[in-house]
Amino acid sequence: MINVDAVILAAGQSSRMRVASKALLPLKGLSLLDHVIKRLAPQVDSLVVSGDQTLLGYLEYPVVEDLTAKFSGPLAGLYSALICSDLSGAEYLMVVPCDGPLVPESLVARLYREIRLADSDVACARYEGVIQGTFSLWHKRQTGTIKNTLLVDKCGGFKPLLDKMDAVYVDWAKASVNPFFNINTPDDLKQAEKLLDL
């Protein structure tokens, strides 16, 4: 059994989609969030959703609201999940976005293996040379560093933090479907419908 909890990031603004919560957009009979949960939940010990409880409504899993200002970026969701009490207390925390419905079913196992082999504090997926910062696994001992980056450096994104850490990058082989495809526009949503049929 691997020692990993998870947070699904669902607190970002959805201005390009013109909806209050992108996580709840329907895709092939399920919400985007439900697609991610379906693929991620079997891979981890426990799971929370980072987002606005008012927008998301009742969910099967606990909703953790950002402890910093709303829309502080994905790092705020990571930090808030790291210090919440709704997780199992596992040593590592997996981060996945709510708009990535094609989450690889081997994602957590691969990142977990590589982070331990490298004795690193963060493992991050990489596809066709592109770092997928929101598909990353973090050792919880880095909570202080993450807090400092978010609250002192005022940085809400993953890239600056990954740049200053000894991250291990795990390459995914090119496939007919990009497993890290994320949905930012109505056209992306239409494309995702086709990709789920492949």
Three-state SS annotation for 100-160: CCCCCCCHHHHHHHHHHHCCCCEEEEEECCEEEEEEEEEEHHHHHHHHHHHHCCCCCCHHH
- What are 138-158's pLDDT values in tens digits? 999 999 888 888 877 777 788
This prediction has a pTM of 0.92
Q: Note the CATH architecture for domain 4-197.
A: Alpha-Beta Complex (3.90)
Convert the pLDDT of each residue in 8-31 to its tens digit.
Answer: 999 866 556 666 678 999 999 999
